[in-house]
Amino acid sequence: MLSIFKSGPRNIRQRLLRDIILLIGIIITALLALGLYMGGKIRQQASAAIISDTSLIVKKKFYSFTEPVETYLSIGCQWGRNGLFTELDAPELRKIFIPMLTTHSYISAVTIADSSGSEFFLKRDGNEWFSRLTETKNGRRSTQVQQWRENGQVLENRQEKSDFDPRQRPWFLKAAARPGEICWTDPYHFFTAGRQGVTASVAWRGSNGKTLFVMAFDLLEDDLLAFLNRLEIADQGHIILLSRNGSIIAHNRSDRLKSIDESPPVVKAIELWQQGNKKDVHALEFFLDRKHWWAGFTPLKTDEPSAWIAVVIPENKIMGSVKKQWSRIAMTATFILAAGIFLALLLVRKYSYQLRDLPRQKIHDHDFENELFALIAAGESTSLEFKSSVRMNLNTGKSGKEIEIAWLKTVVAFMNSDGGILLIGVNDDGEIVGIDADGFASEDKCRLHCKNLINTHIGPEFSRFIHLKMRQVQGKTIVVIECERVRKPVFLTVGKNEDFYVRSGPSSLKLSMSQMAKYLDERR
């Protein structure tokens, strides 16, 4: 295969094979480069699109979970501003909130409290209900506790002393700092239920403008995690619920809320998000532990983001189907390449039979004499000519310039046609006579003389298309000049004249300027 790319004249079969292989190689290289470039673009765009879509889908599903909570809080805030909760009447409040908690079982409890420390608390536990009413009058606090079953059976109705102060609870403090806004707490330990969870709350001012009221709904940790785990997401993917300030409310892969120490991707994603000032980020890419990750952050409510939902997924899980497609494309490209090379070989083989009769431009060294005698036996043609000497006029016995010009014409004609071989030291009858008559002191002297003639009368810029070698055949020295076809016009310069020659049968024909122009135009 290396011989295809060596310098010097080559047969057309080799050239055709070389050019087809190079063309296929260039096309494949271009396709690979384009594929790698576009692959990177597609990878980024596809990953970003998938993570963005996943974030929005998770947001939509999670919003359907939290929307009732925030809706009830908004309605409750309006009721409160209109004076509905000025007096905490336990029986009336139970009528309002029991249907809410029954309809949405994941809301474990509701609380209404004010800035004086008064509080109404209602929670459901299975088929039992529990309520607590704490009132502050004249500086004295009293707490009424009631417990009953759904069928109305009273289990407990008592007065008790309690140090519980709703004004010190996270949900009260957070809502009180931003009246009118719905706030989500970080996970904390519920006082009454004795379990972990989060609370959504809202605050408003009473009609007197002084008393501050807060309504809150509790969501247990188990209910949050159960919902998150029901969401369909890629294997090894993370879903995180974040508070306004970026602290974790819930994480689908945590046994307990806030337990993310063994989830470095989540920690890294939140860190990068917080560095970006907690903006709405549909697609965030990062590298961790030799693996690409993508994260998407979107607020549950666009107008007033009280909580955020985040999705963190490894890229190999996002791009699994895309990579399968790329594998198929690579296999297809490999098959096409193999088929292309196979068809190229068939094409070369097919046309090589038709190309056998095209002009020979080279005699191979490994079988020199056999090829030489085969050429001589075929006789002179458009691609082969014999000359008896380099410079000696055998008729006069003297060196003649006309002898040199004669074989230089042949060289020019070969180059302007389809190439050919000039044998010097072979007479017109095909007899090998050698070049001893030229009287060169050595082969090097002869070679130098020929090269000087070529540089002078044809031009050194064309010397790379002319390959001169000297061989001993039957005890005699001959000169073999192999000429390649040249696309540019080649002229023979003699004095001030520049002549253009082409091959016409076994002879060289000089063309006029108009003939040359037409010939070159047709030759392109």
Q: What is the pLDDT of residues 382-421, one digit of tens each?
A: 999 999 999 999 989 899 899 999 999 999 999 999 899 9
Contact 88, 50 (CB under 8 A): no
Answer yes or no: do 370 and 276 share one domain. no
CA dihedral 411, 414, 415, 421 (to 10 degrees): -70
Q: Which residues pair with 298 in a beta bridge?
A: 309
Are residues 421 and 310 located together in one domain of the fold?
no
3-state secondary structure of 237: coil
| Domain co-membership, 176 together with 83 | yes
Give the mean model confidence (pLDDT) for residues 295-309: 70
Domain carrying residue 62: 47-318
Tell which wins on pLDDT, 521 or 405: 405
How many residues belong to the chain? Answer: 524
Among 318, 353, 378, residue at a domain's last position = 318
| C-alpha–C-alpha distance, residues 82 and 345, integer Å | 90
Q: What is the DSSP string of 439-495?
A: --SSHHHHHHHHHHHHHHHT-GGGGGGEEEEEEEETTEEEEEEEE---SS--EEEET
CATH of the domain at 222: 3.30.450.20
pLDDT-derived band at 317, boundaries 50, 70, 90: low
Q: Is residue 372 part of a domain?
A: yes
In a domain, 360, yes or no: no
For the beta carbon of residue 482, count every other beta carbon within 10 angstroms.
20
Tell me: the pLDDT tens digits for 359-391? 566 788 888 899 999 999 989 999 999 999 999
Six token digits for residue 228: 């998150």
* Total structural domains within the chain: 2
Q: pTM (2 decimals)?
A: 0.49
**Rounded CA gap, 448 and 105, in Å?**
106
Residue in this structure with the two tokens 């396709």, named with its chain if needed:
31
In the predicted structure, residue 489 carries a pLDDT above the cut 70: yes
DSSP 140-198: EEEEEEEEEETTS-EEEEEEE-----GGGSHHHHHHHHSTTS-EEPPPEE-TTT-SEEE
Indicate the residue among 261, 293, 318 that finishes a domain.
318
356-360, 363-367, 494-498: least confidently modelled range: 356-360
Torsion of CA 162, 168, 169, 172, to 10 degrees: 120
Provide the β-strand partners of residue 73. Answer: none
Q: With contact defined as beta carbons under 8 Å apart, do 111 and 119 qualify?
A: yes
Residue ending a domain, among 302, 318, 334, is 318
Q: Rounded to an integer, what distance in angstroms lies between the CA atom of residue 200 and that of residue 169?
A: 12
pLDDT for 253: 66
| 8-state DSSP, 277 | T
Residue 142 Cα distances to 82, 199, 373, 491, angstroms: 26, 25, 128, 121
Q: Is the CB of residue 189 less than 8 Å from the CB of residue 195?
A: yes
What does the alpha-carbon distance between residue 109 and residue 86 come to, in Å, rounded to a whole number?
Answer: 20
- In three-state secondary structure terms, 346 is helix
When mean pLDDT is compared across 65-74, 77-86, 255-264, 396-405, the lowest value belongs to 255-264
pLDDT at residue number 23: 73
Helix, strand or coil for residue 219?
A: strand
In angstroms, the CA 382 to CA 506 distance is 5
- For residue 101 the two structure tokens come to 């908690």
Helix (H) or strand (E) holding 72: helix 12-81
In this prediction, residues 112-138 reach a mean pLDDT of 88
Three-state DSSP state, 132: strand
What integer pLDDT is reported at residue 36 of this predicted model? 64
**pLDDT of 43:** 55
**Pairing label, strands 291-299, 107-114:** unpaired
Q: Check residue 441 and give its pLDDT.
A: 93
Asked if residues 258 and 267 have their Cβ atoms less than 8 Å apart, the reply is no
Q: Do residues 171 and 258 both lie within one domain?
A: yes
Among the residue ranges 53-67, 78-92, 186-200, 447-461, the one predicted with the least confidence is 53-67
Predicted local distance difference test score (pLDDT) of residue 451: 95
For the segment 432-476, what is each residue's pLDDT rounded down to a tens digit?
A: 999 999 999 999 999 999 999 999 999 999 999 999 999 999 999
Residues 180 and 284 in one domain: yes
Q: Examine the domain organization and report whether 197 and 296 are in the same domain.
A: yes
Contact 219, 257 (CB under 8 A): no
- Let me know: does 414 contact 395? Beta carbons within 8 Å: no
Q: In this structure, what CATH number is given to the domain that contains residue 473?
A: 3.30.950.30
